[in-house]
Structure 1
Amino acid sequence: MTDPDGPKDAIGGYASPPCLAHEIGPAYFEPLAVDQQQATNVARWRKAERARLLAQRSALPVAVRHEASEAVAEQLDRLLTARYGSIDGLTISAWWPIKAELNLRHWLEGVAARGARVTLPVVVTPAAPLVFRFWMPGCRMVQGFWKIPVPADGPEMVPDVTLAPVVGWDDAGFRLGYGGGYFDRTLAVLRPRPFVIGVGLQVARIPTIFPQPHDIAMDAIVTETGSQTGSGA
């Protein structure tokens, strides 16, 4: 997904890319929902863990990340076939890769050729839910917020399946993202709620993300080694 954070890096500022963004804003935790000291401690831990995992991922050779992307694409096909039988007619949202994320654009071209409708997340208003705009190979792209390419036009759609890139993930299906809360905000209001798949590397598995009241578990987690059901299913 070009670096979505513009001039900011992975551990500074509040700017957040549409694929799960960047740093926790001061109003992100609901004051009455969680102990403030706990929230502060968790935010501090997540910031450090996020930096560690991003550095670990960036250090992987490009060939290793490419092989992982190909393996994830196969795992996604298996999971979606098992759940839906056919992807023809499904609306699937994904992402434009950034920060050494797995690159699934080739897979997206393939599912579009098989009859799926593909969308990409777009930030229309900062710190608000994302919208999902129709994408197809060769469509006109423009630079969106944080310099991420997004479809220039086309209808906004509610996805049946949403892929969310993960920086880290745990066995309960919770994901550590970039920290801006965009996907949590979006999933909280999307109706009907899509089937949500966190996608990342097996090495990014951690014991827990210390989930807070605002965190929403994925329905499944897919890595290059396989898939598992999350607690959101």
Structure 2
Amino acid sequence: MFIDSSNYQTHAMKDWKAWRKRERERIIAERLAIASAHNQRWSTAISSLLQQGFPNLRKKKIGLYWPFRGEYDPRPAAHDFMAAGAVLALPEVVGKNKPMHFREWWPDAPMCLGAYDIPVPHETRCIQPDVLIVPMVGFDQKGYRLGYGSGYYDRTLATFSVCPMTIGVAFEMQRLENVHPQLHDIAMHYVITEMGIFQAGRELLQQIPAELCAKNNAVV
């Protein structure tokens, strides 16, 4: 996790909230209009890259999410990680302006409806994830994320004593030049689209082969 204080960070931009709102609505509408065949093909590619580039996730506690409004569905890849030993957890919104909890999830876990009517595990144990697979409405050339506007992920990440690795997932059509990050925004460590794996750093996102990504994240 890093917070970039360079002049790229445009926290003084006028009307950045209005700009984000417009972009959020535009991208969600375009994402919902994607043909199901394209969504399936792109999602399969992202799942494959996730498995190839991060094989060590099968030894981790993984925070993922329940797909919403045309998002990439991480559950098929997560099932494979779980079969190899990973522990999975889904986020639970516990209150406005509060960090989320992550509750353990498995395919037959008891569920209830949470915020935005998104299913959440019902009273399963809370988990502190080692890795977060994070949904993105949009993302920019430095790995900053455009979310739904409530700030839950940034607020939650700021509370971890040991920062989990963050993997933002989205389709390439959700890429933006600049989301105009604010001081509270936290960039992803990695971004995965159907076009590849991209690593964030002090410069622009750098695409890296899945094999190199796996090597860089290997558990010794």
Q: How does the TM-score come out when normalised to structure 2? A: 0.83
Q: Which runs of 4+ in 1 moved over 4 A?
A: none
1:136 and 1:121 mapped to 2: Cα distance?
Answer: 13
Alignment partner of 1:73 is 2:43: no
The Cα offsets for residues 183-203 of structure 1, whole Å up to 9 and x where unpaired, read as 000011112110001100111
In 2, Cα distance between equivalents of 1:125 and 1:87: 29
Give deviations 1:110-145, integer Å, cap 9, x for gaps: 211111000000011222101100001111111112
The match for 1:157 among 112, 118, 127 is 127
- SS at structure 1 position matched to 2:26: helix
Aligned to 2:212: none
Kindly indicate whether residue 23 of structure 2 is the aligned counterpart of residue 49 of structure 1: yes
Tell me the equivalent position of 1:6. Answer: none
Partner of 2:106: 136
* Residue pair 2:64, 2:91 contacting (<8 A) in 1 also: yes
Mapped to 1, the partners of 2:156 and 2:78 lie a distance apart of 21
Secondary structure at the aligned position of 2:142 is classed as coil
CA distance in 2, matches of 1:186, 1:89: 22
Task: Tell me what 1:112 maps to.
Answer: 82
Q: What amino acid does structure 2 have at the position aligned with 1:53?
A: I
- SS of alignment partner, residue 222 of structure 1: strand
TM-score, L = length of structure 1? 0.79
Identical aligned pairs, as a percentage? 37
Task: Output the CA distance in 1 between the equivalents of 2:191 and 2:47.
Answer: 13
The answer as to whether partners of 1:218 and 1:231 remain within 8 angstroms in 2 is no
Over aligned residues, Cα RMSD in angstroms?
1.6
What does the per-residue CA deviation read over 1:142-188, in whole Å, with 9 as the maximum and x for residues that have no partner?
A: 11122111111221111111011111111201011111100000011
Tell me, what secondary structure is at the counterpart of 2:158?
A: helix
My pick for the range that moved more, 87-96 or 210-219, is 87-96
Partner of 1:27: none
2:193 matched to 1:193? no
Q: In the alignment, is residue 167 of structure 1 matched against residue 137 of structure 2?
A: yes
Q: Secondary structure at the match of 2:188?
A: coil
Measure, in 1, the Cα distance between the counterparts of 2:58 and 2:198: 23
Residue 101 of structure 1 pairs with residue 75 of structure 2: no
Q: Aligned ranges for residues 194-209 of structure 1 at < 5 Å?
A: 194-209=164-179
Give the whole-Å Cα distance in 2 for the aligned partners of 1:214 and 1:231.
17
Question: What CA distance in whole angstroms lies between the structure 1 residues aligned with 2:95 and 2:28?
Answer: 26
Deviations 1:44-75 (A, max 9, x none): 11111111111111110112111111111111
Instruction: Sort the Cα spacing of 1:203 and 1:137 in 2 relative to 1 into closer, same or farther, 3 A.
Output: same
AA aligned opposite 2:116: W
> Conserved in 2, the CA contact under 8 Å of 1:121 and 1:131?
yes
Out of 102, 106, 117, the residue aligned to residue 147 of structure 1 is 117
> Which SS does the other structure have where 2:59 is aligned?
coil
Gaps of at least 5 residues in structure 2 are 1-10, 206-220
| SS of 1:92 mapped into structure 2 | strand
How far apart are the structure 2 equivalents of 1:221 and 1:227?
6
**C-alpha contact (below 8 Å) 2:169/2:193 kept by paired residues:** yes
